[in-house]
Amino acid sequence: MSHDPSAARRFVSIAVLTVSDTRTLETDTSGDYLQSALEGEGHRLAQRRLVIDDVYKMRATVSAWIADSAVEVIITTGGTGFTGRDSTPEALAPLFDKHIEGFGELFRQLSYTEIGTSTVQSRCLAGLANNTAIFCLPGSTGACKTGWQGIIQQQLDSTHQPCNFVQHVRRKAREC
CA–chain centroid gap for 155, Å, is: 11
Structurally, how many domains does the chain consist of? Answer: 1
Is residue 14 predicted with pLDDT exceeding 50?
Answer: yes
Residue 161 lies in a domain: yes
> What integer pLDDT is reported at residue 83 of this predicted model?
84
Residue span of the structural domain in which 146 resides: 13-170
Residue 2 lies in a domain: no
Residue 5 lies in a domain: no
Residue 153 lies in a domain: yes
Q: What is the pLDDT of residues 124-135, one digit of tens each?
A: 999 999 999 999
Counting residues of the chain whose pLDDT is more than 90, the rounded percentage is 87
Is residue 26 predicted with pLDDT exceeding 50?
Answer: yes
Residue 6 lies in a domain: no
pTM given for the model: 0.92
CA–chain centroid gap for 60, Å, is: 16
Q: Tell me, what CATH number does 25's domain have?
A: 3.40.980.10
How far is 63 from 59, CA to CA, in rounded Å?
Answer: 6
Is residue 54 predicted with pLDDT exceeding 50?
Answer: yes
Residue 100 lies in a domain: yes
Q: What is the pLDDT of residues 61-120, one digit of tens each?
A: 999 999 999 999 999 999 898 888 899 999 999 999 999 999 999 999 999 999 999 999
Is residue 6 predicted with pLDDT exceeding 90?
Answer: no
Residue 4 lies in a domain: no
Residue 123 lies in a domain: yes
Evaluate the CA torsion angle 4, 9, 13, 19 in order and state its sign.
Answer: positive
How far is 14 from 64, CA to CA, in rounded Å?
Answer: 13
